[in-house]
Amino acid sequence: MSTTAMGSFHSIPALPAGARTRLRLTRRGRAVLTALLALPLVIGAVVFALNGGGAVATSEQTHVSFQHVTVESGDSLWAVAERIAPSADPRDVIADLVQLNGLDGSGVVSPGQQLAIPSKYAH
């Protein structure tokens, strides 16, 4: 062992050629390694628990029937909305028609097209 102005140095003996070193984990090291390996499982379980298992598909079919209106020549969504709900704001009726029928919202409908009427406007 030699001492210098910067401090003392310890020399580590060199391993003989062909010698194998073994990795030794302390109890603390094993705990950290176990925690790191278990972390993805814990995160997955928490995500699954918060999600509630997601939607469950069933074989039960729910039959919902709607009243329909047929679009006449020259009609727009505005005209249809005024015809089916004269006392309601046509903008609200149009928004409901667009959502229920999966329309693009441009107000363009074709003559002969069948539109489902939301139940709150059906007579």
**pTM greater than 0.75:** no
Domain boundaries, position 50: 26-54
pLDDT in tens, 5-33: 566 677 777 767 777 777 788 999 999 99
Q: What is the CATH number of the domain that holds 111?
A: 3.10.350.10
Residue 81 in tokens: 């909305």
69, 77 contact by CB (below 8 A)? no
110, 76 contact by CB (below 8 A)? no
Same domain, 81 and 106: yes
Q: Is 97 exposed, middle or buried (0-12, 13-18, 19+ CB in 10 A)?
A: buried
Does residue 71 lie in a domain region?
Answer: yes
Does residue 2 lie in a domain region?
Answer: no
pLDDT in tens, 53-83: 666 667 777 766 778 899 999 888 899 999 9
Tally of structural domains, the chain: 2
